[in-house]
Amino acid sequence: VKGGTEETTTGVVRLRAMEKTGSLKYAIIAVNDAYTKYLFDNRYGTGQSTIDGIVRATNTLLAGRTFVVCGYGWCSRGIAMRAQGLGANVIVTEVQPLRGLEAVMNGLRVMPMSEAAAIGDIFVTATGDINVVRKEHMQKMKDGAIIANSGHFNVEISLKDLEELSKSKRALRPNLEEFTLRDGRRLYLLAEGRLVNLAAAEGHPSEVMDMSFANQALCAEHITKTEKMAPKVYSVPCGIDESVADLKLKAMGIKIDKLTPEQEKYLSTWEMGTT
């Protein structure tokens, strides 16, 4: 094996951890971290398809509902943006101050999950983390609350805690399970806590995956054409990232401006524009 390319956020996190401990045996290009991947696939792809999955599984109305998004990363901000656009009152939970601040300045309410749990109608996790929704939160949730995950595997919602709190469960329709808790409240779990956009909808549309896969293909070509790459996690070469953006605009029939020679000169010097 000469090298590999990694598509997902969580995959890149794990491969960087392998690099740190010396367990990585060949070069990896972190396709997820290309601008033409996470700014579009994670944000607009996950944003749209997650809402699609929730609506297909429940046929619930989002307008006027309190919609809690756990995380304000690239996927979760896409989900928050789309939920807001459909008229939901969006609350964000975060652990990073910068991301929390961005959510606040984007006009969203930010609070700890312990507070959001009591007021949310619909909860979606997209953090890549474990047990983001767990017993202490489920104990506070309203009767009828809907819980879904669009982040990593089926680990973001504690299924163990949900089972332990429940006296019975039944499937209501595909990808929608009703859990009746010992105190009589009912919580609705979507797609067994797995990625709701893949299980209950169709994943991202091809119009956004094309950029991710173009990065994959061009990075694979880059690996085959590069003499030797050490077993490290590499960024996508910026020429590839730029060329994917350029190709995508061309495919969409959109033209943009070019710098004039005068502007190029102005932007590359320190002598002009400083007095």
Q: Which residues bind ligand NAD (CB under 6 A)?
A: 8-10, 38, 42, 46, 70-76, 93-96, 99, 126-129, 132, 150-152, 195, 197-198
Could you report how far apart the first and last alpha carbons of the chain are, in Å? 55
Residue 5 or 76 having the CB closest to ligand NAD? 76
Q: How far is the CB of 25 from ligand NAD (least distance, A)?
A: 22
Q: What are phi and psi of 245, to 5 degrees?
A: -60, -40
Q: How far is the CB of 224 from ligand NAD (least distance, A)?
A: 26
Residue 33 or 178 having the CB closest to ligand NAD? 33
The helices-and-strands tally (H runs, E runs) of the chain is: 12, 11
The distance between the two most distant Cα atoms of the chain, rounded to a whole number of Å, is: 74
Residue nearest to ligand NAD (CB): 73
Residue 38 or 234 having the CB closest to ligand NAD? 38
Q: How far is the CB of 61 from ligand NAD (least distance, A)?
A: 23
Closest CA to 132 of 54, 70, 47: 70
Q: How far is the CB of 220 from ligand NAD (least distance, A)?
A: 20
Distance (Å, rounded) from C-alpha 213 to C-alpha 197? 19
Residue 192 or 246 having the CB closest to ligand NAD? 192
Distance (Å, rounded) from C-alpha 201 to C-alpha 182? 31
